[in-house]
């Protein structure tokens, strides 16, 4: 019997390490004939259910336990491991979540030990590089990738095979391959999950890319805020070197290739490929003019190819099973699968990998089981701060590069933040713009100053100080910034603002002309009032951090208390709109207006 515990960042933050340690302690006490194999694994994708524990019996049947703690661990050991009785009330049926998914990038995440190269080899790991070195020319590898239809999963959606071909055809040497693991979008975590759960797949993808282009050196540019990903990547690199998959004369083929990790300091702009290369070279991470493109003159002035984590994780599957097999998934010019980090107001947040061509409604309402607290979908922000915000009426839009671009959104790196009716769209646009404004490197005047002016207007609107003409000024500034910025950060920064104006203009109008926030979210435009449902329990008084609630706590009959003292009252000037009183009230006696 085997036990595996999910120890990706999501699992650890939910208490997974405590669960693993408890299993280790309890299993050590078992007698010899109850031998249990304990291991770790990465993120399965159902982050809402962490910590996750799988018990696999001798026939290979998996029993999946979720939201496990120390006490439940002890129950599992006693009931399931010792007595052989699964605990039904702790199990989850993941069939509705996974039935419509196709896992290629996430094929091993949540199933293998990411710190064991042998575990990766057992699931056909490094067979693709063996196949390429033994049976394929460099040109054939590139043709296979082109045939797959794979486009860059980092946001731009450029043909991966074409990008490799451009670098391979450049006669200058040396050539470099870089893995862009500088995932920094708010709400995006797919790349981190792959690096933590299946690092060898990324390494093998880089090896195949390097072989096809004649590269001898590669870099993984990973943000330092991903310490577990960096740690497991280094373990994987060390193991691959020891096994002969990296280094000199790999597998006796005459192919030389090695890797090193470069930790980024967390600048969002370094996700842009020219800024990323500047950072590796030791300069400040700022974009540079293109052309020349990296395939012409990249890292240290040499031909360079940059792919993101998800793109590279696809490559071993494509080479091992053939580009035609990968091409079977998807639609039109968007082939294969796409991983989305789904967060926000959905019930089942986490990672979803679906074939290109699936609708947004299918992902949000079916796979992720809709919205929390039985509320309605209001909007979905796609592509992070570089993307756009789409209304509920466009949820039947299918996921492909061209279709989403037409709506004003983008596929991007796969961030998907879902909003319900309590979300103010003006405030949501302000949130994303504040992020990109802070992350602007400052090189372009339009990006540096333009985003600041846009943010000032949005702050005024949310604070009840908006004026007629602000919407038009936002549109003018946004269009100018998009058309005039050097890199994609400035070129896409206005997207959340422009799309919320496009689809939710009435909310902007309400803020400006009516001094009203329809979502009852913007603090300057709402008031809190205690209504007749108040029973004088005093819970709101106890939690109020600004002592803004006055009244006499009830003792005895409610009607007598009301007649003598009246219900509690919120002093508006002292109220900081923290919402704690509403969260504490069990009688729905506090109203926001």
CATH assignment of the domain containing 235: 3.40.50.11540
397/412 Cα distance (integer angstroms): 15
Section 171-191 average pLDDT: 94
Q: Is the pLDDT of residue 484 over 80?
A: yes
pLDDT recorded at residue 32: 73
Residues 429 and 566 in one domain: no
Residue carrying the six token digits 């979008």: 185
CATH code, domain carrying 16: 3.40.30.10
pLDDT recorded at residue 349: 96
Helix (H, G, I), strand (E, B) or coil at 100: coil
CATH code, domain carrying 564: 3.30.70.20
pLDDT recorded at residue 191: 96
pLDDT recorded at residue 214: 96
CATH code, domain carrying 483: 1.20.1440.230
**Which of the pair, 163 or 384, is modelled with greater confidence?**
163
Residues 318 and 368 in one domain: no
Residues 132 and 221 in one domain: yes
Burial class of residue 557 in the structure, from the number of CB atoms within 10 Å of its CB (0-12 exposed, 13-18 middle, 19+ buried): exposed
What are the C-alpha distances in Å from 359 to residues 3, 99, 136, 396, 401?
Answer: 36, 15, 37, 5, 13
Residues 318 and 396 in one domain: no
Section 548-570 average pLDDT: 91
Note the pLDDT tens digit of each residue in 183-200. Answer: 988 889 999 999 999 999
Section 357-363 average pLDDT: 97
pLDDT recorded at residue 413: 83
Question: 59-68, 382-391, 467-476: lowest mean pLDDT where?
Answer: 382-391
Question: 134-143, 205-214, 360-369, 526-535: lowest mean pLDDT where?
Answer: 526-535
Residues 162 and 248 in one domain: yes
Note the pLDDT tens digit of each residue in 409-452. Answer: 988 888 999 999 999 999 999 999 999 999 999 999 999 999 99
Residue 553 lies in a domain: yes
Provide the pairing of β-strand 330-331 with 549-550.
Answer: unpaired
**Which of the pair, 506 or 566, is modelled with greater confidence?**
506
Q: Is the pLDDT of residue 52 over 90?
A: yes
Helix-helix angle 445-462:495-513, to 10 degrees: 30
Query: What does the block give as tokens for 89?
Result: 């009330």
pLDDT recorded at residue 184: 87
Residue 201 lies in a domain: yes
Residues 223 and 89 in one domain: no
Return the bridge partners of 398, or none.
359
Residue 108 lies in a domain: no
pLDDT recorded at residue 187: 87
Residues 289 and 146 in one domain: yes
Note the pLDDT tens digit of each residue in 105-156. Answer: 999 999 999 999 999 999 999 999 999 999 999 999 999 999 999 999 987 7
Instruction: Mark which of 469, 488, 513 sits at the end of a domain.
Output: 513
pLDDT recorded at residue 540: 94
CB 40 within 8 Å of CB 5: yes
pLDDT recorded at residue 589: 93
Section 280-305 average pLDDT: 94
Provide the pairing of β-strand 569-570 with 549-550.
Answer: antiparallel
Total number of domains constituting the chain: 5
Residue 496 lies in a domain: yes
pLDDT recorded at residue 19: 98
Instruction: Mark which of 402, 420, 438 sits at the end of a domain.
Output: 420
Q: Is the pLDDT of residue 43 over 80?
A: yes
Residues 535 and 507 in one domain: no
Section 485-493 average pLDDT: 91
Residue 518 lies in a domain: no
Residues 217 and 164 in one domain: yes
Section 398-409 average pLDDT: 92
CATH code, domain carrying 379: 3.10.20.600
Helix (H, G, I), strand (E, B) or coil at 97: helix
Question: 28-32, 320-324, 533-537: lowest mean pLDDT where?
Answer: 28-32
Q: How confident is the model at residue 386 (pLDDT cuts 50, 70, 90)?
A: confident
Section 543-555 average pLDDT: 93
426/354 Cα distance (integer angstroms): 30
The mean pLDDT value of the chain amounts to 95
Residue 322 lies in a domain: yes
Instruction: Mark which of 394, 420, 446 sits at the end of a domain.
Output: 420
Section 65-83 average pLDDT: 96
Q: How confident is the model at residue 529 (pLDDT cuts 50, 70, 90)?
A: very high
pLDDT recorded at residue 31: 74
Residues 302 and 348 in one domain: no
pLDDT recorded at residue 30: 86
Residues 309 and 433 in one domain: no
Residue 228 lies in a domain: yes
Note the pLDDT tens digit of each residue in 301-346. Answer: 999 999 999 999 999 999 999 999 999 999 999 999 999 999 999 9
Residue 104 lies in a domain: no
Residues 175 and 256 in one domain: yes
Domain coverage including residue 383: 331-420
Furthest C-alpha separation in the chain? 92
């Amino acid at each position: 019997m085997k036990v595996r515990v999910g120890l990706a960042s999501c699992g650890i933050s939910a208490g997974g390490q405590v669960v693993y340690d408890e299993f280790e302690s309890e299993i050590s006490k078992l007698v010899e004939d109850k031998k249990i194999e304990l291991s770790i694994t990465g993120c399965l994708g159902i982050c809402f259910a962490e910590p996750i524990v799988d018990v696999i019996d001798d026939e290979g049947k998996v029993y999946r336990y979720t939201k496990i703690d120390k006490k439940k661990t002890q129950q599992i050991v006693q009931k399931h491991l010792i007595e052989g009785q699964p605990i039904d009330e702790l199990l989850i049926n993941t069939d509705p979540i996974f039935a419509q998914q196709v896992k290629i990038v996430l094929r091993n995440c949540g199933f293998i030990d990411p710190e064991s190269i042998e575990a990766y080899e057992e699931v056909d790991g490094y067979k693709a590089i063996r196949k390429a070195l033994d049976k394929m020319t460099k040109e054939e590898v590139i043709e296979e990738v082109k045939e797959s239809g794979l486009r860059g999963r980092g946001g731009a959606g450029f043909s991966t095979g074409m990008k490799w071909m451009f670098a391979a055809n450049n006669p200058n040497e040396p050539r470099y391959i870089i893995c862009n693991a500088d995932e920094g979008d708010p709400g995006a975590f797919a790349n981190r999950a792959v690096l933590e759960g299946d690092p060898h797949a990324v390494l093998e993808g880089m090896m195949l890319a390097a072989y096809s282009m004649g590269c001898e050196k590669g870099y993984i540019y990973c943000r330092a805020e991903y310490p577990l990903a960096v740690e497991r990547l280094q373990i994987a690199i060390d193991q691959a070197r020891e096994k002969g998959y990296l280094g000199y004369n790999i597998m006796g083929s005459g192919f030389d290739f090695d890797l090193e990790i470069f930790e980024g300091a967390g600048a969002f702009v370094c996700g842009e490929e020219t800024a990323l290369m500047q950072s590796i070279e030791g300069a400040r991470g700022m974009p540079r003019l293109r052309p020349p493109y990296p395939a012409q003159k990249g890292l240290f002035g040499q031909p360079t190819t940059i792919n993101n984590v998800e793109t590279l994780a696809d490559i071993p599957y494509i080479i091992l099973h053939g580009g035609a097999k990968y091409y079977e998934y998807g639609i039109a010019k968007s082939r294969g699968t796409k991983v989305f980090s789904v967060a926000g107001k959905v019930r089942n947040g986490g990672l979803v990998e679906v074939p290109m061509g699936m609708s947004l409604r299918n992902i949000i309402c079916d796979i992720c089981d809709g919205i929390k607290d039985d509320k309605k979908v209001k909007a979905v922000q796609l592509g992070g701060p570089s993307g756009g915000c789409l209304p509920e009426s466009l949820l039947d839009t299918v996921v492909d590069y061209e279709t989403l671009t037409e709506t004003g959104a983008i596929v991007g790196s796969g961030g998907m933040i879902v909003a319900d009716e309590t979300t103010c769209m003006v405030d949501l646009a302000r949130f994303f713009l504040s992020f990109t404004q802070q992350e602007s490197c400052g090189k372009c005047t339009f990006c540096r100053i333009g985003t600041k002016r846009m943010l000032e207007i949005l702050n005024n609107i949310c604070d009840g100080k908006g004026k007629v003409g602000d919407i038009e000024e936002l549109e003018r500034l946004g269009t100018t910034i998009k058309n005039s910025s050097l890199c994609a950060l400035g070129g896409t920064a206005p997207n959340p603002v422009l799309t919320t104006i496009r689809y939710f203009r009435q909310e902007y109008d309400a803020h400006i002309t009516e001094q009203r926030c329809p979502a009852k979210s913007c603090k300057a435009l709402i008031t809190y009032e205690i209504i007749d449902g108040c029973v004088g329990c005093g819970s709101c008084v106890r939690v109020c951090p600004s002592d803004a609630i006055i009244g006499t706590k009830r003792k005895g009959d409610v009607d007598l208390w009301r007649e003598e003292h009246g219900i509690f009252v919120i002093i508006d000037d002292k109220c900081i709109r923290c919402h704690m009183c509403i969260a504490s009230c069990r009688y729905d006696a506090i109203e926001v207006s």
